[in-house]
Each structure stands twice: as structure tokens, then as C-alpha cells.
Amino acid sequence: MKRFMLVLGLTAAVALLAVIPGALGRTQATPGVTSTNIKIGTTLPLSGVAAIYSRIGVGMRAWFSYVNARKSSVDHKRGVYGRQITLNIYDDGYQEANTVQQTRRAVEQDGVFAMLGGLGTENQLAVRDYLNQKKVPQLYVSTGLAGFADLKNYPWTIGWQPDYAQEGILLGKYVKANIPNAKIGVLFQNDDYGKQELEGFQNVVGKNAIVASRGYPRGGGSAAVTPLIPQLKASGADTLFIIATPQESYTSLAVAYKIGWKPNKIVNSVGATDTFMAVAKQIAGSPDAVEGVVTAQYLKDPVNPKYANDPQIKLYEKVMDKYAPSFPNPRDDGLFIYGMAKADTFVQALYRAGKNPTRQSLMNAVSHLTIKKDGWLIPGAKLITTPKSAFPLRYQTLSRYTNGHFTEFGNLVRTR
Amino acid sequence: MPIWLRVAGYAALVAVIIALPHFVGSFTIAEFTYAAVFAMALFGLVILTGITGQISLGQGGFMAIGAYTTAILATNHGWPQLLTVPVGGLVAGIAGFLFGFPALRLAGVYLALATFALAVIIPSVATAFDHFTGGSSGILLELPTSPIGALSVDMWLYYVTWGTAAVLFVAALWFVHGKRGRALRAIMENELAATSSGVSLTHYKTLAFGVSAFYAGIAGSFYGILSFIVTPGLFPITLSILLLAGLVVGGARSFLGAIVGAIFVEFIQVYSGDVLGPVINTAQKLGLPIGDVDKTTPGVPSVVYGVILLLVLFLMPRGAAGLFSRIAGLTRRVV
Amino acid sequence: MLPLAFTWSDFFQQVVFGLAIGAVYASLALAIVLIYRTTHVVNFAQGEMATFTTYIAWTLTANHGWSFWPAFFATIVIAFGLGAATERVIIRPFERGDPLTLILVTIALFVIFNGLIQWIWGPEQKVFLGAFTPKPFDIGGVAISRQDVGVIVVTLITVTVLWLFFRFTKLGLAMRAAAIAPVASRLMGVRVGWMYAAGWGFAASLGAVSGMMVAPVVSLSPSMLQSVLVYAFAAAVLGGIESPVGAVVGGLLLGLATTLLGAYVSFIGVDLELPVAFSVLILVLLFRPAGLLGRQVLRRV
């Protein structure tokens, strides 16, 4: 009995401690911002099946290193108003549970100013409520779900790239205008991403034009899509539309070739970069597998000879050479330039957030950011953000793969 | 170990658990909250694998059942989140109990495969029936809130999960106590011998599967609440494997060890990318010719994680529980 | 999902696909069986080791200008060394421990090899040109890729060689003996430890073969064999875990079943392919708890 009382007493004593309020409120004006430094964070997969996307982080980091070293034409200082930008990269392995933990770690333990460019639709949806509750900017997420452009309900969240529904509409219009009486077979990722783009596409071409559609689960990989392509062929389709992630896209193109199917090929922007076309070509053993693929595009393509002397692409190569020297052929991979262009948008917003930025002033700047001439975008495209229409990138053009690279064609389209 | 020492030990452990959130930051509180959740799942594995000897690579699958139960009830039917937790446990428990019947006929590597299959199947089934489960996109949950003004939501969840873990801990000790415990251990030692001495395999094995899955279901419900979203991707086969690692790290047969295993599971997930820096710095200070490694290089976190796991297995072959008894042996000599 | 009109040419197309993917499952399953036979360890790292060695082959061909077949055989030799070394250095200290611990050791190896691949070669996919061109030939409307035929043929050759090896060579017999009765074998002068190492070595070589067969089909990437491993494991168990022929039969059956079910049972589709395949597998095990070709072991008190 005595022992029992001892335990009870000890427990009670400690429980008392629990009632005493914990940490004293810390007073820091703006988390992550000091007079010399701004600390931001991102979650990307550095491990697991989607680790290729770590390259977005490489591009972002390289650009911040460049900004930290150069003297700005705005204020003649290095960094942004004399502050160096530090980007913490957290590995979430593309798994939502880890995204939540690493985002909390960045915010609560490492005290970042904002999160920038976190990857994955579901991953970023998982932390959207949390970041809005904590009033931490969730900037320029790396997914094109239209739901991330809802500043009214989620004032701390914004996307960056053109949204999937609009891309679907653009590609649908192309099919409608150029392939009369098309019989379309669709391969799509069976989640919000794939369904949203398919819906946009279907609204344009009409339900009857789609003779077969096959969904595969997120993260399915080559094995999931290989048996689907012969089924799409057997449906009598003459046009193949692919809404997938890169691995499924190039596998599908190669399989279509291998089974002797030669449809019109439309691939959405996620899977259609030069690298992945090259992979499809080599798996299939013939350039015919990818010749004529049509896609939508919004950034300048470093491989396109048209931009060989473009000053922005030259700068891109210079920055990659200097700050990411372990990647000798940065031209080949669209993910680097994607990250770098995104980092630059953030830098532009940061300038507009004032000499002493707060999270609120940053969001004000972000929600009103307009850049008339953004060198990363296709010539003529503008970056426009308003609180009511929070789609920073909204200009796209069609592009066709011929002779080993994509060539833009048709008009520049404002999708929103 | 003298009984007063044991009681004092438990009291100290409880005291540390109660006091901890007042001395650490909110994220550390959250990490220990996750540890409590993993501890619940591991208690179940201790019963099933450690004591009854039925290897299971499927604990993550039962966690998924609990999590989906919570997500569907809370988000689609408006239940208060915490009320769904026991339901999650029950649904998973029933599933586990039913799975126990086919598992009766399997042993060793075949059982490992069947449970492995379970861990693979359940997320795929969740993907397929998207009408209920939201498919690949899953179901979003509302952020949890604290009903007590004085407690932050982090502390609230911390105390709720550790409180639940404590109840499950005591229940687990009770479950493996006495006649039933002897029967379960007999099954582990030798099934045929157990049967011939009157132990009903059907009864005890399905019971062990059911209880273990119930524990996993409770853990899964909390895991969903803490993750703000429930998707098939939350329960990859690697989660089940990680739990098995936690079990071995804890010493397989000890519920106290399972708590250590749970802390291991949580921290190796979050920090495996960060261990390398200090290690390399130390090596460089010792004059070893090692270059810098960028911890954000893809693959580095995995290599570190794997090497830590190997080292732990090598250095603590009997897990944390083995370590405890060694320490206990020392104290006996001292006291 | 729209059900498709049935045509024979489409059916045979799916059969060809099913056999080709089944051959891939079978070849990795063979490696798992080999290690189990010789050391009674289920090696979860089998797929990652195979991918690792395939990257070595890639380095030889892409960076050092080797042509395929020399690189193929060199890699098989390198893989043998890697497998044997892994057994001696990493598995050895745990050999007498708990079987659960051993499973975890191979899982740790899985994680380490996967990490090393990404660390050394990067996470991006590499193009690995195989021995056979993917160019299809056409038989009555069914396109058959030469590559797929190549994979099936190589798998069949491998299993034949393996069977002959265990049946008729001294080393093969010694390896079997070491696994079945280690103490007796030691007394008979068999160096049991080295037999284990040889088992791991041969398995790694086999894995390398399957890796080099798969890579040209799906492109070489760090996670290339992860989904295959799940099926290979299933195929090995289905075949009875100790039987090479069973592994091949199991692999081909699984490949055919998943492909045809996914194609023709519209209720199943891609999402449920895996669940249905595994449920069938568990059912099979219920009636034959030691697999299709495994031998029932008498249980003794």
C-alpha cells in the first residue's frame, strides 16, 4: 500500500507540473527573418520512387546561391535587401505522413519564414489546413491542382504552374481543331490530378469522342500501365492522350510502339520533357515511338535550338555550371529550370514584400505579383496574380516533338 | 529485480512521460505523440509475433483499416475524431480475427508472405473503392483541436495518445498473463506440443491476430488524425517493415522495449538524413580523409537509415529489452 | 470502365505480355529460391542487389564503351563477388541469430542498396540497351517483341542450367547438403560457410541476369525491381520456395493471371490486380500450405 501511495504521490506531483503553462511566449518579430538571413523550407522526395523530383530543389538552391552572390540592380546588395536566402530541403519520400512531419519540423522546430515549392498534390493538400492555421505561407506548390488557387478560403496558399484543368482544355481544343472525328483513348492517373485534367479535356472534345479511358493508381509505375495500352489500342482509338507522371508516360509511348500501334499522341506537360522523350525513344528502339507527340508548354525549353542564344537560358546554364556542378548536362532535364524559375518568382515577390518582410507582407506581394517580362516564360507570356485569380502562370502554347526536340507551334494562349 | 525498484521505475517512466512536453518544443511533443502511436501498434506485434511467434509483415495494413474507419466516420459522417478511434480498433480487430483463420494453416515464410500480401492488398483495395475512400487522393481530415483551453492541441494529443498507450500497455500485460499467456507462449515454442497438451490453436491464434490488429487499428486511427489526411500512400509496405524493425529493436517480447522501439521508429524516419553531417564532421576532426557529403543528395538518407538499422541489430541482438535486463542485472549486483 | 469486344488477336497479345512479365517474375523468384535453398534466408534485398549490379553493367556499356554480351558476363562475375562478400561480411554475424533478425538484416540491405544506387548513379532513369531489339514481329495481328522472346528464352536457359548444376555437379550437391544438414556436412568435410557464400553469390548472379533482362524493357531506374520483387516473392512461395521449377511455373502463372484478369475482368482493372492475385495465392496456400511444388514437411514434436 505504501508503495502504491508513493507512486500516486509522485505521479500527482508531476501532473501538477503539467498544469503550469509550458514555454514562455517567444517574441520574435518574424520567424525565419534576421537582419542578414531569410530561412525558408521545402519538402521534396530525396528517397523512394519519386526521388527524381529532388532536382527541383537543386534548381531552386542554385538560383538562391546565385542571388546571394550577385549584386542586385534593385538595391546594389547581395541577396535580397542584403539578406541571404537559405533553403532547407526536407525529405518526405513522397509520403503524406512524412510531409506533415517534415513541414511541422520546418515551421515549429526550425522556424522557417515560408514553405516554397513543396511537391505532390496529396502531400500539399495534407499540410494546407495546417499551414493556413499557423499563418505560414505555402508558396508555389509543385502541383497544378486548381484547388491551390483559392486565396479566399486559403489565404496562405498558392500554386504556380498552369492548372491541370486548363491544360486539358487547351489540349482538347487542339484535338478538336486538328483531328476531325478523333476516336480518343485516354490513359490517366486515377487521382485528383488525372481526373481534373481529363474533365477539362472531355468538356471540350465531348464524351463520345473518348472511346476508351483507363486509369492507373498513383505511383503505379511501368508495370501498371503496360497492359493498359493494348486495351486502348483494341478499343479502336486513333488518338492516345496520356495524363501521367513521367515513368508511366514514356512506358506507354514505348509499349504503343512495340505493339505496332501508331495513334496521334498527346502527352500532358508533366510527362513530356525532352529527357523523357529520349527515354521512350530508346526503350522502344526507334524515334518513331515519340515523333509527333503534342504537348502544352509554359517555360522556355533549354533544348530547343530556338533558345540557344536566349540570355535567360544562357544565365540558367551559367548558374547551373557554377552552383550545381555535379550535374554536367542541365539542359537535358526540365526539372532544374522548373525549380530555378520558381525560385526566381519567389525572389521577385520577396522584393515586393518590402525591406522588412513579414509573412503578411509577403502574401500581399504574392497575391498581387505581376511580372510583364519574365525571362523564364515563353516569349510574350506574363506572370499575373490577383487575389481573385491566383494562377501565377497562365500562358501556355502547344508544342510538337520533331527531330529530337520540342518545337512550339500555334498561338500563345491565356488559359485563365 | 526487487519489487520496489520495479514500481519506482514505472513511476519514474510515468513521471517523465507526463513532464516531458513542458520542457521541449511543440515539434518534439508531436514526435513523441507519433512515438506513442507506434508504441500501440508495436504492443500488438509483441503479442502476435514476439509472444505467439506468428510473424507479421501486415501490421501497417491493419493500421490502414483503422485510419480509413476514422476518416470515413469523421469526414463523411461528421463524427468527433476521437470517438472514431475505438471503432477503428474494433473494425481492424475483426478483420484481424478473420484473417487469423486462413493464417492458421500457414507458418514461417508462407505466413510472412500472407501477411506481406495483406499489407500490399489493403491500400490497393482502398484505391479501388474510391467511392468510399477517395481513391488515390484519399480523405482529408480536419485539424484536431484541444477541448481544454489551458492545453495546446499538441499537448492535448500527446496526453490522449500516451494515455491510450498506457491503458493498452496495462491491457496487454493482463492479456499475456496467466493461463492464456502460457498457451500463447506454448504455441510459439512448439505448436504440436501445445495442441497435444490441450491448447486450442484455432482459439488462441485467431485471438492473437484479432487483438494485435485491434491495437494496430487504434494506432492507425490516431496516425490518420495526426497526418491530417488518409491516403493509400500513408501505408506503404515500408511502414509494416519499419514496425517490424521497431519490434526487433525493442526486443520482441517486451512491452517496455516496444516503447523504445517506437521512439526508434519515429526518430529514424525524421532524422535519418541528418545523422551523417555530425558523423562526417567527427571523422574529419579525427583526421580521416572523408569529403563532405550533401545530405540532400538523393539516397543518402536511405543509406544512413539502413546502416543504423544494421548497427542496432548487430550491437543489441536482443534489442532494448536485452539491454534493460543487463542493466537490471547490474543494479542487482550494486543494490 | 468500358468492357472491350473480345478479339483473339488482342487475347494473344495479352498472353504474350503476360508470359513476358511472368518470365521476369520467374527469374527474380529463382534467385530468391536459390538463397532460400542454400541458407534458409528470405532475401528481401534480392531485387535491389540485382538493380545495383545492373547499374554496374550500365556503367560498363554506357561509360566504358563495352558491348552488351561482354558486359553481361562480366557483371555476372562481379555480382557473384558482391553476393558472396555480402554473405561473408554482413549476413555471417547474424547467421545463428533469430530468423526475424535475419529478415530485418536483409531489409536493411534493401534500403542500403537502394540508397547507394541513388547516391552513386542519381535518381534519374538510365537507358540500358539490351541484347535484343524491341522491334516487334507480327504473327496474325499479334505483335511480339523480340525482346520479350529474349527474356523468356534466357529465363528458360537459366533454370535449366541451374537444375543441371544442383543435380549433377559436386559443388551443387555440396551446397544442397550444407543447407539441409549443416552439421553432418561439416563432418563430411564440406565447408559450410563457403557454401552459404556461394549460394548468395549464385543468387546475386541470377538477379543480375534478371536485372539486365528487365532494364531494357522498363528503363533502368533505382526502383525498377521493387514492384517485381513483390510478385517474385509470391511466385517463389507459390512454387514452394525451394523448387526452381516451381518458381518458374509460379512466375509465369502470376504474370499470365494478372495480365488477363486486368484485361478481361472489367470489375478488377488495374487497382485490384494485385489484391486479386494475392487472394488467389493465399487460397492456393490454404489447400497446399507448402506451395504448388513444395514438399509437405512432417511436423514432429
Least confident of A39-43, A349-353, B3-7, C114-118: B3-7
State yes or no: pLDDT of B292 exceeds 80: no
Q: Any residues with CB less than 8 A from the CB of A73 and at least 6 apart, and which?
A: none
Q: Out of B49, B117, B300, whose CB is closest to C115?
A: B300
Residue A1: its pLDDT value, please?
Answer: 42
Contacts of C143 in chain A (CB under 8 A): 258-260
Q: Out of B128, B193, B310, whose CB is closest to C108?
A: B310
Residue B29 and residue B89 in contact, taking contact as beta carbons nearer than 8 Å? no
Determine phi and psi for B32, rounding to 5 degrees. -70, -25
Count Cβ atoms below 10 Å from residue C59 Cβ, excluding itself.
16
Contacts of C115 in chain A (CB under 8 A): 47
Residue C31: its pLDDT value, please?
Answer: 87
**CA dist., res. B313 & res. C98, Å (int):** 11
Residue A4: its pLDDT value, please?
Answer: 47
Residue C296: its pLDDT value, please?
Answer: 57
CA A49 to chain centre: 17
Share of chain C above pLDDT 70, in %: 93
Q: Out of B112, B117, B298, whose CB is closest to C282?
A: B117
State yes or no: pLDDT of B146 exceeds 80: yes
DSSP codes, C194-261: HHHHHHHHHHHHHHHHHHHHHHHHH-B-TTTTHHHHHHHHHHHHHHTSS-HHHHHHHHHHHHHHHHHH
Average pLDDT on C217-234 reads 83
Mean pLDDT taken over chain C: 83
- One-letter identity of residue C144: I
**CA dist., res. A171 & res. C32, Å (int):** 47
Residue B332: its pLDDT value, please?
Answer: 62
Element spanning B27, H or E:
helix B26-45
State yes or no: pLDDT of C265 exceeds 80: no
**CA dist., res. A370 & res. C19, Å (int):** 56
Average pLDDT on B167-180 reads 93
Residue B62 and residue B220 in contact, taking contact as beta carbons nearer than 8 Å? yes
Cell for B75? 469526414
Residue A47, chain B, CB below 8 Å: the answer is yes
Distances in Å between the Cα of A412 and the Cα atoms of A397, A399, B64 are: 5, 11, 46
In eight-state DSSP terms, residue A80 is B
pLDDT band for position C12 (50/70/90)? confident
Answer left, alpha or beta for residue A135, where phi above 0 means left and psi between -120 and 50 means alpha: left
State yes or no: pLDDT of C234 exceeds 60: yes
Residue A11: its pLDDT value, please?
Answer: 54
Residue B222: its pLDDT value, please?
Answer: 98
Selected for mutation to probe chain B from C32, C92, C270, C282 (highest B CB count within 10 Å) is C282
Contact A129 B28 (CB under 8 A): no
- B131 CA: distance to closest CA in chain C (Å): 14
Q: Any residues with CB less than 8 A from the CB of C284 and at least 6 apart, and which?
A: C238, C291, C292
In chain A, positions 72-111, which contact chain B (CB-CB < 8 Å)?
Answer: 89, 91, 94-98, 100-102, 104-105, 108-109
3-state SS assignment for residue C86 = helix
State yes or no: pLDDT of C168 exceeds 90: no
Least confident of B23-32, B139-148, C276-285: C276-285
> Pick from A392, A416, A397: which is nearest to A117 by CA?
A392
Residue C250 and residue C235 in contact, taking contact as beta carbons nearer than 8 Å? yes
Element spanning C142, H or E:
strand C142-145
Contacts of A20 in chain B (CB under 8 A): 22
Residue B205 and residue B52 in contact, taking contact as beta carbons nearer than 8 Å? yes
Contacts of C104 in chain B (CB under 8 A): 244-245, 248, 309, 313
Average pLDDT on A82-109 reads 94
Contact A51 B8 (CB under 8 A): no
Average pLDDT on B88-114 reads 89
Distances in Å between the Cα of A371 and the Cα atoms of A346, B209, C26 are: 12, 61, 57
Element spanning B108, H or E:
helix B108-128
Count Cβ atoms below 10 Å from residue A191 Cβ, excluding itself.
26
Strand partners, C143: C138
Mean pLDDT taken over chain A: 90
**CA dist., res. A244 & res. A254, Å (int):** 14
Strands C142-145 and C136-139: antiparallel
How many Cβ pairs within 8 Å bridge chains A and C? 105
Q: Out of B11, B31, B298, whose CB is closest to A47?
A: B298
Average pLDDT on A25-34 reads 73
In chain A, positions 57-76, which contact chain B (CB-CB < 8 Å)?
Answer: 57
- Helices B237-250, B255-271: crossing angle, 10 deg rounding: 130
Count Cβ atoms below 10 Å from residue C188 Cβ, excluding itself.
12
Residue B57 and residue B41 in contact, taking contact as beta carbons nearer than 8 Å? no
Residue A250, chain C, CB below 8 Å: the answer is yes
Residue A19: its pLDDT value, please?
Answer: 43
> Pick from B156, B307, B32: which is nearest to A101 by CA?
B32
> Pick from A200, A267, A259, A274: which is nearest to A240 by CA?
A267
Residue B332 and residue C148 in contact, taking contact as beta carbons nearer than 8 Å? no
In eight-state DSSP terms, residue C140 is T
Contact A234 C5 (CB under 8 A): yes
Residue C284, chain B, CB below 8 Å: the answer is no
Share of chain A above pLDDT 70, in %: 93
Average pLDDT on A210-227 reads 85
Q: Out of C111, C269, C301, whose CB is closest to B302?
A: C111
Query: Between these two residues, C33 and A219, which has the higher pLDDT value?
Result: C33
How many Cβ pairs within 8 Å bridge chains A and B? 138
pLDDT digits (tens, 9 = 90+) for C27-68: 889 888 888 888 788 888 999 999 999 999 999 998 898 999
- Residue indicated by cell numbers 490488429: B213
> Pick from B74, C117, B229: which is nearest to A98 by CA?
B229
Strand partners, A33: A38
**CA dist., res. A393 & res. A348, Å (int):** 14
Average pLDDT on C162-191 reads 83
Count Cβ atoms below 10 Å from residue A76 Cβ, excluding itself.
8
Q: What is the CA radius of gyration of chain A?
A: 24
> Pick from A89, A175, A100, A167: which is nearest to A134 by CA?
A100
- B67 CA: distance to closest CA in chain C (Å): 19
State yes or no: pLDDT of A111 exceeds 90: yes
Which chains would you list as touching C if contact means 3+ CB atom pairs under 8 Å?
Answer: A, B
> Pick from B144, B253, A122: which is nearest to C100 by CA?
B253
3-state SS assignment for residue B105 = coil
**CA dist., res. A374 & res. A370, Å (int):** 9
The alpha carbon torsion through B86, B88, B93, B95 (nearest 10 deg) reads 160
Query: Between these two residues, B86 and B305, which has the higher pLDDT value?
Result: B86
DSSP codes, A6-56: HHHHHHHHHHHHHHS--SPPP--SSTTB-SSEEEEEEEE-SSSTTGGGHHH
**CA dist., res. B301 & res. B284, Å (int):** 20
The alpha carbon torsion through C79, C81, C84, C90 (nearest 10 deg) reads -90
**CA dist., res. C287 & res. C289, Å (int):** 6
Which chains would you list as touching B if contact means 3+ CB atom pairs under 8 Å?
Answer: A, C
Query: Between these two residues, A221 and A45, which has the higher pLDDT value?
Result: A45
**CA dist., res. C41 & res. A349, Å (int):** 57
- A133 CA: distance to closest CA in chain B (Å): 9
Distances in Å between the Cα of C4 and the Cα atoms of A212, A214, A279, A319, B190 are: 9, 12, 30, 52, 53
Contact A230 C145 (CB under 8 A): no
3-state SS assignment for residue A296 = strand
Residue A333, chain C, CB below 8 Å: the answer is yes
Contact A17 B233 (CB under 8 A): no
**H-type alpha helices, chain C:** 8-39, 46-58, 68-86, 99-121, 146-168, 170-180, 182-187, 192-218, 226-239, 244-264, 273-287
Residue C222, chain B, CB below 8 Å: the answer is yes
Residue A153, chain B, CB below 8 Å: the answer is no
Query: Between these two residues, C173 and B273, which has the higher pLDDT value?
Result: C173
Contact A6 B11 (CB under 8 A): yes
Cell for A318? 551559367
> Pick from A178, A176, A182, A239: which is nearest to A204 by CA?
A176
**H-type alpha helices, A115-273:** 121-133, 164-178, 192-205, 221-225, 228-234, 246-258
Strand partners, A186: A213, A241
Average pLDDT on B25-30 reads 94
In eight-state DSSP terms, residue B143 is P
State yes or no: pLDDT of A16 exceeds 50: no
